[in-house]
Amino acid sequence: MTSNAPPSGQTDYVTLVSCDGFEFKVQRSSAEIAEAIRRMLDPRTGFYEAIHNRCEFSDITGLVLEKVVEYLYYNEKNKDAKEVPDMEIPPEMTLEVLMAADFLNV
């Protein structure tokens, strides 16, 4: 598959790209927990992201996006759990993660 040819249909994994070029390959079901990513990847919209299964975030750094991805899997993992442990967020990152969470509606 070359980069010019758009992939046909949806893949199981999508790529999230940070502003400094880090790429995260994330399971689609987990990524779609974030409201904003779900809308970006909705095939009915015909967005670039939906066609290429690739979301680029120009405001989120790699460090923060890693935390976001960690959260997406944490949420997926604890979907049916009764006792959900808190996910650790380093205090120095909280404000950036807060902005990212607001941006991604998660």
Partner 1 sequence: MAVEVPGEIAMADVPSSPPAAVTVTAESVPALPSRKRTRHQPSARFNLTSSDDAPLFSSDDFNDASVDNYAPGRSKRQFLGPWWQHSSQTVPDDAPQPQPRGFGRNLDSGIFMGSDDTVSSEDSATSLPLPLDLRCAPRHYMSVTLSEPELRAVELIRYCLERGEERVDLSNYGIQSLSNGLLEPLHQLIKHPRHAGTDLPGPESYEVLVPALQLFLSGNSLRSIPREVWNFQSLTVLSLRNNELTELPPSIGRLHNLVELNVSGNRLRWLPWELLRLYGKNGKLRRLTTLPNPFVQGLKFTGTLQTIRQWHFPSTSDGLRDVLQSLQEDLASSTQDSAEAIQTAWLLKLHNLISAEVFREHISTSLPSEIPHLLRSIPSIRKEQPLLIAATPLSYFAFDGSPLPGFSPPSVTPENVELVPASLTLDMKQPPSHHPSSRAPSLLELTLRTLTTSSNFSNSVTLSTLRSYLPRTTSPAIIRTINLAFEVQENGGRNCSVCKRAYAIPRAEWIEYWHFVPDGAAKAASGEMFVPHLRRVCSFGCAKEGRGAEDVEVGER
Closest CA to 105 of 19, 33, 43, 53: 33
Q: In the numeric block, which tokens belong to residue 39? A: 């809308």
The distance of closest approach from Cβ of residue 56 to partner 1 in the complex, given in angstroms and rounded to an integer, is 19
Residues contacting partner 1: total by CB under 8 A: 29
> In the range 38-77, which residues lie near partner 1 by CB under 8 A?
38, 68, 71, 74-75
The distance of closest approach from Cβ of residue 63 to partner 1 in the complex, given in angstroms and rounded to an integer, is 14
Site string for partner 1, 76-95 (x = CB under 8 A): --xxxxxxx-xx-x-x--xx
Q: Are 53 and 14 in contact (CB under 8 A)?
A: yes
Bridge partners of 24?
16
Cβ atoms within 10 Å of 24's Cβ, excluding its own = 19
The distance of closest approach from Cβ of residue 1 to partner 1 in the complex, given in angstroms and rounded to an integer, is 30
Q: Which amino acid is at 47?
A: F
Bridge partners of 14?
26
Contact residues toward partner 1 (CB under 8 A) are 33, 35, 38, 68, 71, 74-75, 78-84, 86-87, 89, 91, 94-95, 97-102, 104-106
